[in-house]
């Protein structure tokens, strides 16, 4: 009997409460460092016995559709609620990291006193990380429209007793008003979209919610922001609309942008990766991609080189980890 099958058989005989206790014991976060060639399901083929055990636990929780999280210790002494059985836990619990190259890069960029904006904050992973790095002199603004994810975001903030994160349940666009958000069902939480699901045929729409739309420029005025340093954008295909509604802020402060750039998702909402890149370049931004060989950002020479997450930086500002040889 193969080890994976044996583990599945043994764990299936345990009560859910005991499996979650076991998960809490074996959960580990990898050190904060570049991970060349990392991708979403990289841990699925790892032959390590402990990784196989975590995979078996994840499969058990997925089959049971469990909704109770475990708490994992994360970077910088932070803690996060992890819901086993969903996409995020496939990365964070099984493999011990999530988008490690992006987080390592941000660890170089973020410093005390900065203002970080998290557009599409989900459960707050980036906001938590940024808040700890910018310290009480700075702030993280976490904007998330989904009610389910916003509740999880607030729970993570309470868990870490962070007081420099300003959460707001809202969606960003190039206009003010309202829109319908399609909320992804079990396993794919966080892939909520104002368009349609495109990545997996098995993504179910749990329900829809009417959400408030605002422009980033307007929110920056309402918050009275005197600086904006870093903006992370992950909005499942609405990236062009967000940037169109942020042009005044980008022109005024020239913040660094870390954003998802999936052409298929963008096309589901009537735009494209080419349009996003063209708009950014028209605003004077230069484009960087995460190098597969090093895991570090390098200037992109052509569209075919781009990683799923890209960096846009204005040459008027310099950034540690981007404009140096580290």
Instruction: For 257-269, write each residue's pLDDT tens digit.
Output: 999 998 888 988 8
Q: What is the mean pLDDT of residues 276-293?
A: 96
- Token pair for residue 194? 């104002």
Phi and psi for 32 in degrees, rounded to 5? Answer: -75, 105
Given a cut of 80, whether residue 228 has pLDDT beyond it is: yes
Residue 190 banded pLDDT, cuts 50, 70, 90:
confident
**Percentage of the residues of the chain whose pLDDT score is greater than 70:** 97
Measured in whole angstroms, the distance separating CA 205 from the mean position of its chain's CA atoms is: 20
- Pick the last residue of a domain from 70, 95, 120: 95
Residue 326 banded pLDDT, cuts 50, 70, 90:
very low
Residues 124 and 269 in one domain: yes
Over the stretch 36-73, which tens digit does the pLDDT of each residue have? Answer: 999 988 998 899 999 999 999 999 999 999 999 999 99
Determine the pLDDT at residue 200: 52
In a domain, 142, yes or no: yes
Number of domains in the chain: 2
Q: What dihedral do alpha carbons 225, 259, 83, 163 form, nearest 10°?
A: -20
CA gap 313, 321 in Å, rounded: 12
Determine the pLDDT at residue 315: 96
Determine the pLDDT at residue 97: 95
Residues 72 and 104 in one domain: no
Over the stretch 85-132, which tens digit does the pLDDT of each residue have? Answer: 999 999 999 999 999 999 999 999 999 999 999 999 999 999 999 999
Phi and psi for 18 in degrees, rounded to 5? Answer: -75, -35
In a domain, 322, yes or no: no
Given a cut of 70, whether residue 324 has pLDDT beyond it is: no
Determine the pLDDT at residue 20: 96
- Token pair for residue 116? 């970080």
Q: What is the mean pLDDT of residues 172-180?
A: 97
Given a cut of 70, whether residue 6 has pLDDT beyond it is: yes
Given a cut of 50, whether residue 22 has pLDDT beyond it is: yes
In a domain, 91, yes or no: yes
Residues 196 and 56 in one domain: no
Given a cut of 70, whether residue 1 has pLDDT beyond it is: no
- Pick the last residue of a domain from 29, 61, 95: 95
Measured in whole angstroms, the distance separating CA 59 from the mean position of its chain's CA atoms is: 23
Closest CA to 314 of 288, 289, 286: 286
Which range of residues forms the domain containing residue 50?
Answer: 3-95
- Pick the last residue of a domain from 95, 115, 131: 95
Residues 179 and 292 in one domain: yes
In a domain, 319, yes or no: no
CA gap 75, 61 in Å, rounded: 24
Poorest-pLDDT segment among 24-28, 48-52, 172-176, 198-202: 198-202
CA gap 322, 71 in Å, rounded: 33
Determine the pLDDT at residue 3: 87
In a domain, 108, yes or no: yes
Residues 155 and 253 in one domain: yes
Mean of all residue pLDDT scores within the chain: 93
In a domain, 251, yes or no: yes
Residue 74 banded pLDDT, cuts 50, 70, 90:
very high
DSSP designation for 142: E
Query: Is residue 152 a contact partner of residue 48, using CB atoms and an 8 Å limit?
Result: no
């Amino acid at each position: 009997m193969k080890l994976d099958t044996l583990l599945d058989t043994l764990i299936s005989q345990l009560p859910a409460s005991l499996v979650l206790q076991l998960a809490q014991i074996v959960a580990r976060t990898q050190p904060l460092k570049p991970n060349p060639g990392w991708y979403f399901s990289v841990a699925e083929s790892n032959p390590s016995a402990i990784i196989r055990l975590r995979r078996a636990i994840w499969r058990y929780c997925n089959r049971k559709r469990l909704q109770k999280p475990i708490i994992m210790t994360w970077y910088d002494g932070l803690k996060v609620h992890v819901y086993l059985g969903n996409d995020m836990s496939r990365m964070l619990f099984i493999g011990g990291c999530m988008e490690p190259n992006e987080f390592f890069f941000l660890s170089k960029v973020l410093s005390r006193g900065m203002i970080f904006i998290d557009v599409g904050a989900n459960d707050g992973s980036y906001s938590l990380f940024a808040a700890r790095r910018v310290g009480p002199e700075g702030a993280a603004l976490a904007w998330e429209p989904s009610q389910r994810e916003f509740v999880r975001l607030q729970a993570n903030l309470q868990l870490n007793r962070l007081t420099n994160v300003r959460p707001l349940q809202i969606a960003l666009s190039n206009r003010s008003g309202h829109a319908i958000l399609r909320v992804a069902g079990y396993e794919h939480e966080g892939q909520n979209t104002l368009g349609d699901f495109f990545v997996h045929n098995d993504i179910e729409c749990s329900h829809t919610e009417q959400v408030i739309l605002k422009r980033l420029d307007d929110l920056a005025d309402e918050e009275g922001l005197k600086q904006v340093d870093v903006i992370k954008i992950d909005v499942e295909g609405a990236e062009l609309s967000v940037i169109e509604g942020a042009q005044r802020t980008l022109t005024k402060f020239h913040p660094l942008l870390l954003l998802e750039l999936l052409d298929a998702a963008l096309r589901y909402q009537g735009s494209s990766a080419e349009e996003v890149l063209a708009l950014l370049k028209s605003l004077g931004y230069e484009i960087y991609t995460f190098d597969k060989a090093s895991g570090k950002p390098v200037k992109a020479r052509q569209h075919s080189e781009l990683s799923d997450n890209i960096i846009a930086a204005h040459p008027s500002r310099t950034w540690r980890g981007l404009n140096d040889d580290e």
